[in-house]
């Protein structure tokens, strides 16, 4: 074998890398690891500045472990560097990526290193993280006098391999160190548990717990603080320095801390959170942490709550006068000891607790017994309030009930000491969040400090003003808005235990039964009140009254009083008018308050008054605020600015005329219940029907009186005319018949006509004095039309009208106003004899005459009138526009007589004459006076005679009066 060859440079680098990696794997001492790494870097890399630092995760600090400098002074390389946001070193630690700087002397993100770089003329610099499994364990800084910071691939690879191996070894050493330093908490806790079992009283057990905690954690002080609910303060019950501390001793003031002082600290303990305050770390807010440390005069604190049955009993605190980082082991041990204390704490008051539970059960039993017995409810509540106040150590017992009309809570029962006055103010309705809080609650809602707590915020001012500082609130019912609330108050800041809150909850649910009984009683009373108002109002409205207007207004005022009594309104008035009027009259009903009033002499225009128009446009009642009223309304209506208005029109039917509006006013704070509003609306509707009935009655009575006077007058005049006519005929008969033959013929004809007229007049006076008499006659239609046309001959000539008769069996012939005899206009063939009508001929003739006169008056001068006759058989239904179904006319052979003309007629009159159109007798109508009144009389008369009369307009605008008359049958 030959001599071994000298290794080349690349092989030497690999061998050096292997040796250093092997050295790092086999070494456990951190300082040796750092020195080995520095030696390798100095040997293999040309850098004048090398610095290695290890990273402390808890404190975010780099600890310098050494390196090399040009002047061999490495003292500053072992200093502690606190990382700040924006630093190059912090960027490398957080991002765990190498970072290069071309010139370290100009880098503003490395302030301390700039001075060193200027001192040693360092420019190009590389900062690399020492990491393992995404965990940064330290950093390496390499500085060169050359500008720039590039590394070749091979150099960078060797450097990263060394740093990777160093990171893995450091990580393993750290884990091993933590495991070695970790203390076992199970053995000390088990030893403490055994000691607690052997000790007899609570103070000895607290002393053992404090000593064990102080020995394990080794703080400067270890204390147990106890919580007093009444007064809401903590006092130091046990300490490693003062073994026994009495609550009433002189040290209490020094050791006592109020909840107001502790604030966030107290609320964190109350929800079973451990509080840890160490070096630059705190589980509380920073501003409060400083305040708490100053109050306890310490630099570090670890506190674990002592809780029993969800109630904070106190806390175990370990305190240090120097900044300290509390380990998880410290936290777990302190929390475990606090848990053991919470288990042994109740034994001190076990007997009193059992006695208290028995008394609580007895209290709830007595409340239930009192509710379901026949004792007075006030007496039951008095006994219950006395025992609850004594049990809970409270000042006031308040039972509130929601009033939907006032939209607030009223005190329906309250109990307080003799030297305290009852509360007389109402409480506002709950805000939405407070209402939801009570809705979700299954126990009493506790307010320990009303000055600071934001719950029930709108109750704070009146309660604080009356000395309330803390309170418990329970809902007694489970409505959407709790109908009843039970409130217990105290005059100082305090808290209550879970057992006390559960007791109050149980009592409140039983009191809810009392409230429901009261609600039923109040509802019954209200229904009785409504029933009495209905009875009184109906009695008033149904009693017989005359038509004197003053008495009518008195009745309306009485009805308004009953309506106002249901809603409890201080103002009720009626705006009244008659159909067709343009101005409303104010009828005052109730004015019980000087803030409400009306100007009764004001004239209110119906079309311009907003209140009236709003009421008319609303089907039922309308409620609105006074702020919405226009200035014109405020001139005659006086209501407070925060008032509210209810208006409802006196409406009976959608087609009937409205004759008034009821106006009610009240304060805005009042809220009318739906039951009362419904009752008031019913009474207003009843008032509308009563007013309509009275108006119709007055109208009919007035019309009847006028018609009776007219009938009496005309009947007496007809009697006189009949007497004079009969006397004249007697005188004519006494004179004898003239001798001249022609004169004698004419004389006898006229005499027969006069005899016939006098006979018909005598029959009418005898049979139709106070009612119509229907007779039965027959007459050919041709004769009837001929007589009817003769009666309007002068009217036809004056109007120069053309008239034609069609459908009597002959070709149409037209009658000119110049014709001297109208008889030639009517066919007279034998076929007409079969066209005879049956009925009361005189009345039918008057109807036809009225239709012809109406047609003439509506026609223009020189116009045309047509009379159409058509026979309708019973077997063929009528195909005309308005076929009749009344009077049995279509069940026999009938004659359809239609009179058409081109004159004008009001569309409203045609609508009102239609049989199926509803008619309001109080509304102004075209049928109240001629000619519409005459046409209506004819229409009604034809129905009584077994015929039919209709009016309509054809598409070519011709107006048709269609008359249906019964024809004489062949067997008649």
Q: What is the 3-state secondary structure (H, E, C) of 453-497?
A: CCCCHHHHHHHHHCCCCEEEEEECCCCCCCCEEEEEEECCCECCC
Residue 932 near residue 816, CB atoms below 8 Å:
no
Find tokens 């071994």 and name the residue.
Answer: 4
What integer pLDDT is reported at residue 823 of this predicted model? Answer: 36
| DSSP β-ladder status, 637-638 and 597-598 | antiparallel
pLDDT at 810: 46
Confidence at residue 831, expressed as pLDDT on a 0 to 100 scale:
45
| Cα 406 → chain centroid | 17
Q: At what angle do helices 674-735 and 549-567 cross, to 10 degrees?
A: 160
Tokens, residue 410: 């009223």
Long-range CB pairs of 785-791 (<8 Å, 24+ gap) are 785/826, 785/848, 785/867, 786/822, 786/823, 786/826, 787/845, 788/845, 788/848, 788/849, 788/852, 789/815, 789/822, 789/825, 789/826, 789/852, 790/822, 790/823, 791/849, 791/852
Total Cβ atoms within 10 A of residue 104: 24
pLDDT at 878: 47
Per run of 10 residues, the mean pLDDT along the chain (length 972 residues) is 51 77 80 87 86 87 89 83 86 89 86 85 90 89 84 83 88 76 74 82 87 88 88 86 52 60 84 82 75 84 88 90 83 90 75 63 65 64 84 88 83 87 87 87 88 88 90 86 88 85 86 78 72 67 49 74 83 86 86 78 85 88 86 85 86 82 83 80 84 82 74 68 75 70 75 77 74 84 89 87 82 42 42 72 87 91 91 60 40 84 88 73 78 86 88 91 85 50
Sheet holding 80-82, edge to edge: 80-82, 61-68, 49-56, 135-143, 125-132, 99-101
CA 361 from centre of chain: 41
pLDDT at 628: 83
Q: pLDDT tens digit string along 37-90?
A: 888 888 888 888 999 999 988 778 899 988 998 887 778 888 888 888 888 888
Positive or negative, the CA dihedral 202, 203, 208, 214 is positive
Query: Using CA atoms, how far apart are residues 222 and 224, in angstroms rounded to an integer?
Result: 7
CA distance 265 to 303: 9
Number of continuous H segments (helices) and E segments (strands) in the chain: 27, 35
Nearest to 508 by CA among 527, 488, 482, 486: 486
Residue position matching structure tokens 């020094």: 254
Distance CA 337, CA 342 (A): 9
What is the model's pTM? Answer: 0.46
The pLDDT, as a whole number, for residue 950 is 92
Cβ neighbours of residue 335 closer than 8 Å, sequence gap 6 or more: 274, 304
What are the tokens at 338?
Answer: 């606090």
Cα–Cα distance, 560 to 554 (Å, whole number): 10
What pLDDT is stored for residue 963 in this prediction? Answer: 94
Cβ-in-10-Å burial (0-12, 13-18, 19+) of 377 comes to middle
Helix, strand, coil fractions of the chain, as percent rounded to 5: 45, 20, 30
Token pair in block for residue 760:
């018909």
Cα(855)–Cα(942) distance, integer angstroms = 18
Write down the pLDDT at residue 812.
Answer: 36
- For CA atoms 116, 120, 124, 130, the dihedral sign is negative
pLDDT of amino acid 868: 93
pLDDT at 9: 64
Q: Is the separation of the CB atoms in 405 and 671 below 8 Å?
A: yes
Distance CA 564, CA 590 (A): 7
Whole-number pLDDT of residue 818: 44
């Amino acid at each position: 074998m030959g001599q071994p060859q000298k290794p080349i440079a690349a092989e030497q680098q690999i061998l050096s890398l292997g040796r250093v990696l092997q050295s790092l794997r086999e070494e456990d001492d951190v300082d040796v690891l750092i020195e080995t790494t520095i030696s390798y870097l100095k040997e293999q890399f040309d850098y004048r500045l090398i610095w290695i630092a290890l990273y402390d995760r808890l404190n975010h600090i780099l600890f310098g472990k050494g390196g090399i400098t040009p002047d061999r002074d490495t003292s500053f390389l072992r200093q502690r560097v606190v990382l700040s946001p924006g630093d190059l070193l912090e960027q490398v630690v957080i991002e765990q990526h190498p970072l290069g700087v071309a010139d370290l002397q100009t880098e503003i993100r490395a302030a301390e290193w700039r001075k060193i770089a200027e001192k040693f003329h360092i420019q190009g610099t590389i900062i690399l993280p020492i990491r393992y499994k995404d965990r940064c364990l330290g950093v390496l800084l390499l500085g060169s006098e050359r500008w720039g910071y590039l590394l070749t691939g091979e150099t960078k690879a060797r450097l990263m391999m060394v740093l990777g191996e160093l990171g893995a070894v450091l990580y393993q050493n750290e884990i091993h160190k933590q495991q070695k330093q970790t203390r076992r908490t199970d053995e000390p806790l088990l030893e403490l548990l055994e000691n607690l079992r052997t000790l007899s009283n609570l103070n000895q057990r607290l002393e053992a717990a404090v000593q064990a905690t102080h020995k394990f954690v080794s703080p400067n002080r270890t204390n147990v603080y106890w919580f007093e609910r009444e007064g809401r303060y903590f006092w130091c019950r046990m300490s490693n320095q003062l073994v026994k501390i009495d609550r009433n001793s002189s040290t209490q003031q020094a050791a006592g801390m109020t909840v107001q002082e502790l604030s966030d600290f107290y609320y964190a303990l109350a929800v079973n959170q451990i509080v840890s305050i160490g070096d630059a770390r705190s589980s509380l807010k920073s501003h409060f942490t400083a305040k708490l440390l100053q109050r306890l005069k310490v630099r570090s604190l670890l506190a674990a709550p002592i809780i029993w049955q969800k109630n904070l009993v106190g806390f175990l605190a370990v305190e240090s006068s120097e900044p300290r980082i509390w380990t998880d082991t410290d936290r777990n041990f302190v929390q475990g000891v606090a848990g053991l204390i919470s288990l042994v704490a109740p034994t001190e008051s076990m007997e009193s607790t059992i006695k208290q539970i028995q008394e609580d059960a007895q209290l709830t039993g007595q409340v239930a017994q009192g509710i379901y017995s026949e004792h007075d409810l006030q007496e039951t509540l008095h006994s219950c309030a006395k025992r609850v106040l004594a049990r809970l150590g409270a000042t006031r017992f308040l039972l509130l009930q929601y009033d939907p009309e006032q939209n607030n809570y009223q005190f329906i029962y309250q109990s307080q000491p003799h030297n305290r006055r009852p509360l007389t103010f109402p409480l506002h309705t709950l805000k939405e969040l407070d209402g939801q809080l009570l809705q979700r609650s299954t126990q009493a809602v506790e307010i320990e400090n009303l000055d600071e707590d934001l719950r029930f915020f709108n109750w704070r001012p009146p309660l604080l003003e009356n000395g309330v500082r803390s309170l418990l609130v329970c809902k007694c019912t489970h409505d959407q808005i709790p109908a009843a609330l039970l409130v217990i108050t105290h005059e100082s800041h305090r808290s209550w235990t879970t057992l006390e809150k559960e007791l109050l909850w149980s009592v409140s649910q039983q009191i809810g039964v009392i409230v429901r009984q009261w609600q039923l009683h109040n509802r019954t009373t209200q229904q009785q009140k409504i029933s009495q108002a209905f009875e009184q109002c109906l009695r008033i409205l149904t009693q017989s009254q005359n038509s004197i207007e003053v008495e009518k207004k008195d009745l309306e005022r009485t009805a308004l009083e009953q309506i106002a009594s249901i809603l409890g309104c201080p103002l009720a008035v009626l705006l009244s008018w008659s159909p067709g009027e343009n101005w409303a009259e104010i009828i005052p009903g109730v004015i019980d308050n000087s803030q409400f009033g009306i100007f009764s002499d004001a004239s209110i225009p119906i079309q311009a008054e907003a209140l009236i128009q709003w009421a008319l446009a609303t089907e039922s009642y309308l409620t609105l605020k006074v702020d919405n009223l226009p200035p014109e309304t405020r001139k005659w209506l006086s209501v407070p600015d925060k008032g509210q208005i209810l208006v409802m029109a006196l409406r009976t039917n959608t087609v009937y005329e409205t004759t008034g509006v009821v106006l009610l006013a009240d304060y805005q704070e009042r809220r009318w219940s739906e039951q009362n509003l419904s009752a008031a609306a019913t009474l207003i509707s009843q008032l509308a029907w009563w007013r309509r009935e009275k108006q119709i009655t007055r109208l009919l009575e007035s019309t009847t009186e006028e018609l009776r006077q007219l009938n009496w007058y005309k009947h007496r005049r007809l009697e006189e005319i009949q007497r004079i006519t009969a006397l004249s005929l007697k005188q004519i008969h006494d004179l004898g018949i003239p001798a001249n033959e022609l004169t004698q013929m004419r004389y006898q004809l006229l005499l027969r006509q006069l005899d016939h007229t006098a006979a018909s007049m005598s029959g009418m006076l005898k049979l139709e004095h106070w009612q119509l008499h229907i007779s039965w006659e027959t007459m050919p239609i041709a004769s009837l039309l001929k007589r009817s046309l003769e009666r309007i001959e002068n009217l036809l000539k004056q109007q120069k009208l053309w008239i034609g008769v069609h459908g009597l069996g002959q070709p149409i012939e037209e009658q000119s106003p110049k014709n001297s005899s109208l008889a030639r206009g009517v066919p007279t063939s034998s076929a007409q004899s079969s066209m005879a009508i049956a009925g009361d001929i005189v009345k039918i003739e008057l109807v036809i005459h009225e239709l012809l006169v109406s047609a003439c008056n509506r026609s223009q001068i020189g116009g045309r009138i047509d009379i159409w006759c058509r026979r309708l058989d019973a077997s063929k239904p009528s195909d005309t526009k308005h076929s009749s179904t009344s009077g049995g006319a279509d069940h026999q052979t009938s004659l359809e007589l239609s009179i058409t003309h081109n004159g004008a007629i009001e569309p409203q009159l045609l609508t009102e004459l239609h049989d199926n159109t509803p008619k309001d007798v109080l509304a102004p109508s075209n049928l109240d006076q001629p000619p519409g009144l005459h046409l209506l009389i004819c229409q009604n008369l034809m129905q009584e005679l077994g015929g039919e009369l209709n009016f309509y307009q054809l598409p070519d605008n011709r107006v048709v009066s269609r008359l249906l008359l019964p024809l004489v049958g062949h067997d008649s």
